[in-house]
Amino acid sequence: MALAAARRLLLHAGSRLGRREAVDGARRFANKRVLVETEGPAVMKLRNPPVNSLSLECLTEFTISLEKLENDKSIRGVILTSECPGIFSAGLDLLEMYGRNPAHYAEYWKNVQELWLRLYTSNMILVSAINGASPAGGCLLALCCDYRVMADNPKYTIGLNESLLGIVAPFWFKDMYVNTIGHREAERALQLGTLFSPAEALKVGVVDEVVPEDQVHSKARSVMTKWLAIPDHSRQLTKNMMRKATADNLIKQREADIQNFTSFISKDSIQKSLHMYLEKLKQKKG
Ligand SMILES: CCCCCCCC/C=C\C=C\CC(=O)SCCNC(=O)CCNC(=O)[C@H](O)C(C)(C)COP(=O)(O)OP(=O)(O)OC[C@H]1O[C@@H](n2cnc3c(N)ncnc32)[C@H](O)[C@@H]1OP(=O)(O)O
């Protein structure tokens, strides 16, 4: 209920902002954590500092922005990137999964599923300009895209590292990884929780292209131009043919997946692992 109300408020605020900024001449709309520019190829920028973690609010704003773009028939493709220096996205917000109650975990997971289903089955062309670290849920966002361009900076890593946190990647994260890099590579990377450097990510197929950091956006734009030259109807039907079974696999068991997540994440042993991981992140500073 609370989330539905927040959603209505955000949609309303989003459209107000949309109108105001259009008057300024720039075609863009924004909410607090997501900025969307629709001048030229549409660009969606995550801006949830310090690390673009996907908090419940961020997920909601992201989903709403995507919905607005999907509803605008003049928009055929979107570049997904980050406004936080050096970080694409740190993935799911650990604080949404630690020390909360089961109802919160269920609500959070429902929203994670919702964003994934929308992104993965989007009719639009999605290109990610990965301009920073992209672990776990950050990698998931990139994997949903039709093409991934990553900045050539060895400090940036990408991959599904859940097992390093003492948690398990859900089956639909795994399915998408297998679809992208094949069964053997996915099996190894998932068990080890591998975070790939850009060069390794390119080699294994987690990303499609690695370019100098200052060319990530221009490359993503030129990739978009190429993809936009393909007729929408044939490209969309092909994308649907490739992805439908994977998405349907979650759709048919969404409730059970929420229950599994909620009981898994509520376990004392899992909460302890998350606590230790959060402490490790804190200590890294000191
Ligand atoms: C049996 C089957 C059942 C199936 C059940 C399914 C269960 C699945 C469950 C969950 C799946 C989860 C997927 C995820 O996405 S989990 C999140 C994984 N993310 C990470 O591991 C990234 C962790 N972060 C980092 O590695 C770094 O922060 C990095 C992104 C590289 C940035 O480094 P740096 O610039 O040095 O910044 P700091 O590390 O100092 O971080 C700044 C502050 O941000 C906080 N932080 C970082 N990441 C997160 C996060 N994901 N969520 C929340 N907060 C985060 C960090 O603690 C710092 O906070 P503070 O300033 O207060 O100390």
- Ligand 1: residue whose CA is nearest its atom 22: 90
Tell me the pLDDT of the chain averaged across its residues. Answer: 92
Quote the tokens at residue 109: 């997971």
Domain 28-284 architecture: Alpha-Beta Complex (3.90)
pLDDT of residue 172: 98
> Per-residue pLDDT tens for 201-233?
999 999 999 999 999 999 999 999 999 999 999
Task: List the residue whose alpha carbon is closest to atom 21 of ligand 1.
Answer: 135
- Determine whether the shortest distance from the Cβ of 284 to ligand 1 is under 6 A: yes
Cα(141)–Cα(187) distance, rounded to whole angstroms? 19
Cβ of 95 below 6 Å from ligand 1: yes
Q: Does 168 contact ligand 1 (Cβ within 6 A)?
A: yes
In this prediction, residues 109-125 reach a mean pLDDT of: 98
Ligand 1 pocket, residue 51 CB under 6 Å: yes
| Burial grade of 252 (CB within 10 A; 0-12, 13-18, 19 or more) | exposed
Kindly give the residue spans of alpha helices, DSSP state H, lying in the chain.
Answer: 2-23, 56-71, 102-120, 137-143, 171-181, 183-192, 198-204, 216-228, 232-251, 254-266, 268-285
Residue 259 Cβ inside 6 Å of ligand 1? The answer reads no
| Residue 167 Cβ contacting ligand 1 at under 6 Å | yes
- What is the Cα gyration radius of the chain? 18
Smallest CA-to-CA distance from 93 within 126, 62, 127, 121 is with: 62
Residue 31 has pLDDT above 90, yes or no: no
Amino acid at 248: D
Say how many Å lie between the CA of residue 257 and the centre of ligand 1.
Answer: 22
| pLDDT (0 to 100) of residue 130 | 99
Q: Does the pLDDT of residue 152 top 80, yes or no? A: yes
**Ligand 1, atom nearest to 265 Cα:** 7
Q: Are 240 and 230 in contact (CB under 8 A)?
A: no
Strands 42-46 and 77-82: parallel
For the CA of 136, the nearest atom of ligand 1: 15
Distance between CA atoms of 238 and 232, rounded to whole angstroms?
10
Q: Are 111 and 66 in contact (CB under 8 A)?
A: no
Hey, whose CA ends up nearest to atom 61 of ligand 1?
A: 282
Whole-number Å distance between alpha carbons of 100 and 34: 25
Rounded to whole angstroms, the Cα distance separating 17 from 256 reads 38
Phi then psi for residue 169, to 5 deg, are -65, 130
pTM of the model: 0.93
What ipTM was reported for this prediction? Answer: 0.98
Tell the residue nearest (CA) to atom 26 of ligand 1. Answer: 90
Catalytically active residues, by annotation: 92, 137, 161-162
Q: Among candidates 160, 144, 176, 148, which has minimal Cα distance to 245?
A: 176
Residue from 191, 271, 281 whose mutation best tests the ligand 1 pocket (most atoms within 8 A of CB): 281
Q: How far apart are CA 4 and CA 11, in angstroms?
A: 10
Question: Could you identify the residue written with the tokens 């043919």?
Answer: 241
Q: Is 79 in the pocket of ligand 1 (CB under 6 A)?
A: no
- What are the φ and ψ backbone dihedral angles of 149, each rounded to 5 degrees? -110, 130
More confident: 89 or 3: 89
Q: What mean pLDDT do residues 56-65 have?
A: 97
Rounded to whole angstroms, the Cα distance separating 187 from 241 reads 24
